[in-house]
Structure 1
Amino acid sequence: MTYFLPPTDTVAGAARGLALAHPGLIEVHRDPLYLRARSSSPDRTVALVSGGGSGHEPLHTGLLGPGGLDAVCPGEIFASPHNRQIYEAGSAAAKSNGVLFIVKNYTGDVINFQIAAERLRHDGIPVATVLVDEDLATDNKDTATGRRGTAATVIVEKLLGAFADQGAKLEELATLGAAIVAHSRSLAVAARAQTSPATAEPAFPLKPGTLEYGVGIHGERGTGTIEHRPVDALVEQMTDDLLAALPGGQDQVLAVVNGLGATTGLELHAIGSLLHEALTARGVQPLAIVPGTFTAALDMAGFSLTLTRMKPEWAELWTAPTDTPLVLPSRTLTADTAASAVAGPAAAVQEPTGTPTPSSRAVLDGFAEVVSLVRDNLTALDQLVGDGDFGDNLLGGVRQAQTLTSTGTDGMTALAEAFLNDVGGTSGPLFGLFFQQLAAVSWPDDQAPDTRAVADAAAAGLAAIHRVGGAEIGDCTLVDALGPAVDALGSAAGNLADSPFTAAAEAAVKGALNTASLTPRRGRASYVGEHAIGVPDPGALGVALLFMVVSRVYEPDAATRLPAPQHLTAR
């Protein structure tokens, strides 16, 4: 392996290391994992909370502290934090006028922050969100996902941190954040993809003498491959593309030259000089040229340029003082501050109580067995259209659910709790919302559950997933399998048909396989576009596997007409 990372607790260990490097500034809460600034301006009335997948450091955690963020929720490498992290961090950091979430536009981040916002509002805490979506390479009106959020996040967090310290209210912060995003655009280029921690190989190949243009920060391919050209010509091309797309009428810009992980300071400063020349030659006055690694993609060899057209009143926000790791990288370490860097576990969240619905473990254990068999297949498929974490996330969720049943939690409720509270990424919480509805149904040991009750619960789960993620049939998501399964169940319940769960499984299998012919319009796969054609959506396959297990448990004779899980998920 090329990384010097511990095999377990990688992100939590890095969080503790950051706190030890900046004693007295940061405290780390372990379960769920989040980092919190130990102090903030007395004039601040709104807490700023952000986060995202790890591997992009110093993004987010580097701006934690006075003048910056109040709390940060780190997910696993390239995976969104789960909603429980965000909910508890927001609850702990909330101030008198509420919480502002700063969210990069990736489906998993958006969904988990949105679920956390709903939970905070239920507790009476006002919440608003600033969505950072400035990546020029993904400015494609044909996808519902929208532009990615990348290095402009650093600018948004710095300016909003200063504004919050002036006593700005929640609505004022949200308005300013949206304006900064609207006046920003970024573009990235890479000469080598980042090394995959799973395979120790580059995430995508590049022929010698070529560059990936418009690359993403998770190893997503760019909009195209271009000839490797002199860096001054490359910077001029990127500058022209950015200025042509940059909204606003101000001539003064803030320019960030961001390294993607393996690009040296020598290179970034040289690029900064070239960028200054390119901007001034085009009549654009840089407020500042800011080189450095702010939003990495593990060890990708490349850089991004971010331009923000600055309004005059924003300049003082950029130069306002901060006390954050990115600005002050060293502090004196003493035994007392080292011991206090990590706070005790966060108080347990009190979930609503009630009488649990009786449920056997048959579906849960069957699902765990099947997912164990096909995890590698799901990983291989997800690497073609995403970041390759779906198989591990799905298996981790069902295993966590099995652990929860040892404390008396019934099987379907355990699945809901595990996927809602402990599984990050995009599909984890979406599966959790679906399981949450199914948990309201009785799943007896000795007979099949009521078809109408399951059909209604499945329909409610589909509706919840649509409310949160917005996916429709044809977007190439898990909805393409879940929608047909819900329809089949509803029809079977109305007609009192035999083998209703097998019919639902067959519909889910057909819907999942049909995604191979679709161009993704949502989620990370939408950035791959037509390159995803021919690959079935892993989330849709996960839905099909679930219904296949239900069929095997309650209709074993009819289930023999379903495909083998290994065959269904084979490349």
Structure 2
Amino acid sequence: MSYFLPETDPVLTAARGLALAHPGLIEVNSSPLYLRARAPHPDRTVGLVSGGGSGHEPLHTGLLGLGGLDAVCPGAIFASPHNRQIYEASVAAAGSGGVLHIVKNYTGDVINFQIAAERLRHDGIPVATVLVDDDLATDAADSATGRRGTAATTVVEKLLGAAADRGASLQELADLGARVVAASRSVAVAARAQTSPTTGSPAFTLGAGTLDYGVGIHGERGTRTIAHPPVDDLVRRMTDDLFDALPAGPDEVLVVVNGLGATTGLELHAIADLLHTQLLARGIRPRVMAVGTYTAALDMAGFSLTVTRLEPGWTELWAAPTRTPLDLPRRILTDDHAPHAPAAPSRPGATPEAATAAPGEAGGRAVLDAYARIVTQVRDNLTRLDQLVGDGDFGDNLAGGVRRAVELADTTGADGMTALAGAFLDDVGGTSGPLFGLLFQHLASAVPSGDGAPDRAALATATAEGLAAVQRVGGAVVGDCTLIDALVPAAEALAAAADTEAPLTEAAQAAVRGALATASLRPRRGRASYVGDHAIGVPDPGALAAALLYVALADVHEPATATRLPAPGYITLH
């Protein structure tokens, strides 16, 4: 990021660029630097002024204009604006009823806005302040500074902007702002620090599989570092903390799912859905869901959640029109806006009895459970391998498909292998998902649903038939560096060892050897083929996943001999 910033005065340059991108909307004063809205609402009598360190865009500048702020004072990156900026911006923005300052609770911001307020009072200009302090991570009883001001600032600025356009007085705006702040709490997490504009390197480092909980928008470290949980568990924990910190109040809320700079829209919208579920489970009705990057910390990889308890009339203020660079979502949610479609009907042949049957205790269900444990253990390893040769999604796709299979087995009573086939054929995208589904579909005929080990001959036949189906569709052969390189030796071992003591263990050993041998191959199919020689030295993740299925079969049906097999984590360690 530092390579793209101008070498001299990047903040002024960016301010001019914002004005160019929104012609007729913004006026830039360069000395001292502040931005002013060109066309405030004619009914407004109080000017709204905010600002703070740069690097949080679109915070402040994104809400400059009708329905928002009258002036914004940007400081240097992560640094407070100077009191002279604030004073002169306030003089320019003040209406007949004075000027209101909206200030995030950071020491530099507070001091400089206070000095500017003293100068305005000396000049006879009425002034009041709304101090935003929503960050629950810094809510410590022994802190003289108090909570930091973070993403709830967007909520405050939007609601006060609408109220100011209705002609609200200075005192009315100050009182409204204080109530909005009191009803709001935020918490943020990060998986990667922002890039320092000075060094071009991350401002701090996090260990693999960890994240910082309670980070600040100036790139401050979190209040603690935690092991990275599944995202639904993380959202649940953050929601618990938010409602533990929020004062009691109405059950209707406004929520902001905010990216910290490097978090994609895909991720933020997924988090929004998880949060929505958590809120409904608590009897809370979300009336507004704003999802996007509103308060960044340069390019930090992370997100924050903000919850504001809504008083009567606040949804109307949120929905009021604006003409600002940032187009906030202003639609109000109703109960019929729930995004979830009705449950899909049962597959042909399913019966109500089957839907409520208890899962099998052994056989295919035991194999499914064993495979699920293995996949959970090695998901991150498979992801790292796929990042080296592909797009990095294989571990998540495999784990997601297995989770879906477990859900199917639990809810429909389907046998484990049948559930794997259904999940991967119907619900797992990409290339490998349906191919694995074909394999599972054939294996389902050989792995019994009840007690007892599979017939070895039947399993050899099913493996061969599944292999043939995968080859018919995918066209791969041994040596192409795909799952075929694991399936062929497994099929051959089963065919040759049908009468031996431990044919499943031998098949698993053969599949593991075949999968690991793909590291010496130059891929000829799939995404790995695009990286050419860069893939040499990396075993194919799909081949490893196929081999681990036979490891699961051996673990369940030949536990005594399966101890010869290497641990799944070791198999997938690169």
- The normalised TM-score by structure 1 is 0.57
Q: In the TM superposition, what are the counterparts of 1:410-425 in structure 2 within 5 Å?
A: none
Q: Within 5 Å, give how 1:141-180 maps onto structure 2.
A: 141-180=141-180
CA deviation map 1:356-389 (0-9, x unaligned): xxxxxxxxxxxxxxxxxxxxxxxxxxxxxxxxxx
Corresponding residue for residue 74 of structure 2: 74
SS of aligned partner of 1:305: strand
Equivalent residue for 2:117?
117
In 2, the alpha carbon distance for the partners of 1:319 and 1:56 equals 24
Q: Which whole-Å deviations, capped at 9, do the CAs of 1:229-274 have from their partners, x for residues lacking one?
A: 1111100110011011111320011010000000001111111111
Contact 2:2 2:198 survives alignment (8 Å): no
Secondary structure of the structure 1 residue equivalent to 2:313: helix
Q: What is the distance in 2 between the residues matched to 1:289 and 1:274?
A: 12
The corresponding residue for 1:15 is 15
Identity %: 78
1:101 aligns with 101
- State the partner residue of 1:479: none
CA RMSD of aligned residues (A): 1.1
Matches within 5 A, 1:319-468: 319-327=319-327
Alpha-carbon shift at residue 42 of structure 1 (Å): 1.1
* Structure-1 separation of matches of 2:265 and 2:103: 28
In structure 1, what residue type is equivalent to 2:302? G
Tell me what 2:545 maps to.
none
Matched, 1:258 2:258: yes
2:2·2:196 contact (CA, 8 Å) conserved in 1? no
What one-letter code is carried by the residue in structure 2 that aligns with 1:72? V
Residue pair 2:290, 2:328 contacting (<8 A) in 1 also: no
Whether contact under 8 Å (2:49, 2:69) holds in the other structure is: yes
Letter of the 2:232 counterpart: D
1:38 paired with 2:12, answer no
Secondary structure, in 3 states, of the residue corresponding to 2:111?
Answer: helix
Distance 1:36 1:294 in 2: 19
Offset from partner CA, 1:173-217 (integer Å, 9 cap, x none): 000000000000000000001011112221111111001000111
- Structure-2 residue corresponding to 1:316: 316
- 1:63 aligns to 2:59 (yes or no): no
Q: Which residue of structure 2 lines up, in the alignment, with residue 301 of structure 1?
A: 301
Whole-angstrom CA distance in 2 between matches of 1:3 and 1:22: 25
Structure 1, unaligned runs of 5 or more? 330-571
CA distance in 2, matches of 1:123, 1:224: 46
Q: CA deviation at 1:289?
A: 1.4
The 2-side partners of 1:5 and 1:221 are apart by 24
| Offset at residue 2 of structure 1 (A) | 4.6
CA separation in 2, counterparts of 1:227 and 1:64?
Answer: 39
CA contact (8 A) 2:259 2:302 kept: yes
Gaps of 5+ in 2: 330-574
- d(CA) in 2 for partners of 1:43 and 1:52? 27
* CA contact 2:104–2:149 (8 Å) conserved in 1: yes
Q: Kindly report structure 1 stretches of 4+ aligned residues shifted beyond 4 Å.
A: none
Deviation at 1:7, TM superposition (A): 0.6
* CA offset digits 1:399-423 (Å, max 9, x no partner): xxxxxxxxxxxxxxxxxxxxxxxxx
**Partner Cα separation in structure 1 for residue 132 and residue 2 of structure 2:** 31
**Number of equivalent positions:** 329
Rounded to whole Å, the distance in 1 between the matches of 2:328 and 2:232 is 32
Whole-Å Cα distance in 2 between the matches of residues 165 and 100 of structure 1?
13
Letter in 2 for 1:139: D
Paired with 1:205 and 1:23, the residues of 2 have a C-alpha distance of: 41
1:220: which partner in 2?
A: 220
The residue type paired with residue 323 of structure 2 is D
Structure 2 match to 1:196: 196
CA distance in structure 2 between the partners assigned to 1:197 and 1:47 by the alignment = 33
Question: Aligned partners of 1:68 and 1:182: how far apart in 2?
Answer: 20
CA distance in 1, matches of 2:165, 2:309: 22
Instruction: State the alpha-carbon separation in 1 of the partners of residues 249 and 99 from structure 2.
Output: 31
Mapped partners of 1:254, 1:71: distance in 2: 25
**Match in the other structure for 2:5:** 5
1:231 partner amino acid: V
Contact residue 236 and residue 275 of structure 2 kept, 8 A: yes
Q: Aligned equivalents of 1:238 and 1:64: distance in 2?
A: 30
How big is the shift at 1:140?
0.6
Offset at residue 290 of structure 1 (A): 1.1
Look up the equivalent residue of 2:65 and give its one-letter code.
Answer: G
Take 2:2 and 2:119, find their aligned partners in 1: how far apart are those partners? Answer: 40
> Matched residues in 2 for 1:259 and 1:328: separation?
14
Matched with 1:404 is none
Q: Distance in 2 between matches of 1:318 and 1:131?
A: 20
Q: Distance in 1 between matches of 2:137 and 2:249?
A: 22
**Rg comparison, structure with higher value:** 2
AA paired with 1:319? A
SS of residue paired to 1:295:
coil
SS in 2 for 1:312: coil
Q: CA deviation at 1:3?
A: 4.2
Encode CA deviations 1:502-545: one digit per residue, 9 max, x unaligned: xxxxxxxxxxxxxxxxxxxxxxxxxxxxxxxxxxxxxxxxxxxx
Partner Cα separation in structure 2 for residue 296 and residue 328 of structure 1:
15
Once the two structures are superposed, the pairs formed by residues 258-297 of structure 1 within 5 Å of their partners are: 258-297=258-297
- Shift in Å, 1:141: 1.5
Letter in 2 for 1:60: H
Task: State how far apart, in whole Å, the 2-side matches of 1:327 and 1:208 are.
Answer: 36
Matches within 5 A, 1:474-553: none
Q: Which residue of 1 aligns with 2:135?
A: 135
Q: Distance in 1 between matches of 2:3 and 2:57?
A: 15
Q: Secondary structure at the match of 2:201?
A: coil
Aligned: 1:186 with 2:210: no
Which amino acid counterpart does residue 298 of structure 1 have in structure 2?
L
Q: Partners in 1 of 2:290 and 2:171 — Cα distance?
A: 29
Instruction: Report the Cα distance in structure 1 between the residues aligned to 2:165 and 2:218, rounded to whole angstroms.
Output: 32
Structure 1 residue 328: Cα displacement: 8.4
Match of 1:360 in 2: none
Q: Which amino acid aligns with 2:317?
A: L
Distance 1:239 1:193 in 2: 23
- For 1:288 and 1:165, the matched residues in 2 are separated by 21
The answer for the alignment partner of 2:367 in structure 1 is: none
2:256 alignment partner, SS class: strand
* Pairwise CA distance, 1:62: 0.1
- Relative CO higher for 1 or 2, CA cutoff 8 Å, sep ≥ 6? 1
Aligned partners of 1:31 and 1:120: how far apart in 2? 19
Q: Is residue 35–residue 73 contact of structure 2 (8 Å, CA) maintained in 1?
A: yes
Maintained 8 Å contact 2:184/2:307: yes
Shift of 1:45: 0.4
1:431 aligned partner: none
Query: What is the aligned partner in structure 2 of residue 28 from structure 1?
Result: 28
Distance in 2, Cα, partners of 1:312 & 1:328? 20
Separation of aligned partners in 2, 1:48 and 1:15? 18
Q: Answer yes or no: is the 8 Å Cα contact 2:98–2:170 preserved in 1.
A: yes
